[in-house]
Amino acid sequence: MKKALLAGVGLSLLAASPALSQTITVWDWKSGDPVAMSYFDQAKAEFEEANPDVTINYVMQPNDQYYTILGTALASGAGPDVFLLNGGAQARARFEALTDLTDLSGDLVGLEEFQDEDGTVYALPISIQGFVVYYNKALYEQAGLDPETPPQTWDDLVAACEVVAEAGSAPCFTLGNREGFAGEFILSSLAASMLTEEQQQAFADGELAWSSPEVTAILETWVSTQDMGWYREGANSTSKFMDEYEQFMRGDAVHTIGLMSDIAHWKQFDDFLGAENVGVFRHPAPDMAFDEPRMPVSGGIGYGVNKDGDNVELATAFVEHLASAGPIQTFVNDAGVVPANTTVDTSGLSSPSVISILDWLEPYGVTTAHANVTAAELTEWQRQSQLLLNGDVTPAEAAARLDEVQAEARSDD
């Protein structure tokens, strides 16, 4: 026992060694992901070759603790040189800790989520994100629908769901709204086509109320899909990530509203179902503000530079490299992201789904409505979306409550 105690203390003191380094430290939650590793490795190798005295040190943090640890580290003046951020609220909350990267953003789209009101860019997006409807072509055929002619209008979609219901093999849509994410996705998908660009901007600025006829129509449309029996029972207790998407991949539902990058996207569905069995279309809506449906798009994830870091200049150069065409090309090819860098060559992508998605990006789509409302409104919308699905509130009641939150949140700004 005594020897063991002494040995333990000795071993610990011998092995305990300082690990402070002069490297550029990069925090993220993705660098350990196998499909993203080639991108991170290439960016590191190229930068270190061009700067022989520099070492890039990726530190992958557990995602669920990421912003807690990042916040503590930044507040204590010990944050990383470079860190990854989600666009929107998470990025905006950290603008004060970041350097101005506006001059490096010339070739990038999806900047809105990383910009302040003056247009200053605080992080460079590496991907863009948006919503489309994926469908299972095999289930279309089984139901007697033409898999090569997806719905283009609201009436087409309603008719397709009626045919699917008659076939009775699977629900028309799979839906996971346990966290209110389905509510977010549907709000942005419908708003993209039902609101004009001016109305979108007014909604983002808090000048268009939830109880306005235009926004209330979105809520009513969603409730109508529930009334038409598009979803399986229990959507409010099904998680969107990944129960909803696993249902789609298992062939337990015909459609799902998915993403264009990262996860729950064309590459994941192609890999599981086969590219030939996956179809995609933009979510149509009743009373569209445009001739054809619009795809909601925003900046996905992006890198910022800690303004209090020890190597701001080098860190800025590395972030510029992370967002540049060379490494991003690898990210696109291996992980299937849709790039924020417009100079990246995407002609090598062969999936029919992503070819369609890239086509719809010209001209660049409308921003995602849910990402532009305040955090308080978004939280309340997640709750109200569940109540709407349950039939516990009417669209008018939900809109009235959201108006109150909108007014309160805007008065705080």
Partner 1 sequence: MATAGKKEKRVLWIISIPMAILALSCVYPVYFALNNALKDNRGYILDRFGLVQNPTFDNFVQAWTRSNLDTYFLNSVVTTVGAVALLLVVSSLAGFALAVLRFPMRRLIFIVILASLMIPVQVVLVPFYQTIIGLGLLNTRTGLIISYTAFFLPFSVYLMTSFYAGLPRELVEAARIDGAKLIQVWWYVMVPMGRPALITLGILNTLYCWNDVLISLLVLQDQRTLMVGIAALRGEYTTNVPLLSAGIVLAAAPIVILYIIFQRQIVSGIAVGAVKG
Cβ-based neighbours of 136, under 8 Å, separated by 6 or more = 248, 251, 253, 254, 255, 273, 277, 278, 279
Nearer to partner 1, 112 or 244 (CB): 244
At closest approach, how far in Å is the CB of 124 from partner 1? 19
Q: For the chain, give the longest Cα–Cα distance.
A: 82
Identity of residue 119: G
- Cis, bond preceding 37 (omega within 30 deg of 0): no
Give backbone dihedrals phi and psi of 80, rounded to 5 degrees, phi first.
-70, 165
> Which element (helix H / strand E) includes 281?
strand 278-281
Nearer to partner 1, 82 or 285 (CB): 82
**76 three-state secondary structure:** coil
Query: Alpha helices, DSSP H only, in 76-146?
Result: 89-92, 137-143
Cα separation, 366 vs 100, whole angstroms: 25
At closest approach, how far in Å is the CB of 75 from partner 1? 7
For residues 283 and 190, the answer to whether their CB atoms sit within 8 Å is: yes
The footprint of partner 1 (CB under 8 A) covers 1-2, 4-5, 7-9, 11-13, 15-21, 25, 29-30, 32-34, 57, 59-65, 69, 72-73, 75-78, 240-242, 245-246, 249-250, 263-264, 272
At closest approach, how far in Å is the CB of 78 from partner 1? 5
Residue whose tokens read 């993220």: 28
Instruction: Give, in order, the Cα–Cα distances in Å from 54 to each of 82, 303, 315, 326, 331.
Output: 14, 18, 10, 19, 23
Nearer to partner 1, 230 or 245 (CB): 245
At closest approach, how far in Å is the CB of 62 from partner 1? 4
Is beta strand 127-136 parallel, antiparallel or unpaired with respect to 24-28?
unpaired
At closest approach, how far in Å is the CB of 35 from partner 1? 11
At closest approach, how far in Å is the CB of 333 from partner 1? 20
Nearer to partner 1, 59 or 400 (CB): 59
Nearer to partner 1, 2 or 117 (CB): 2
Nearer to partner 1, 15 or 233 (CB): 15
At closest approach, how far in Å is the CB of 382 from partner 1? 15
Nearer to partner 1, 136 or 216 (CB): 136
Q: Which two tokens stand for residue 272?
A: 């599981």
Terminal CA-CA length for the chain: 63
Nearer to partner 1, 23 or 120 (CB): 23
At closest approach, how far in Å is the CB of 28 from partner 1? 10
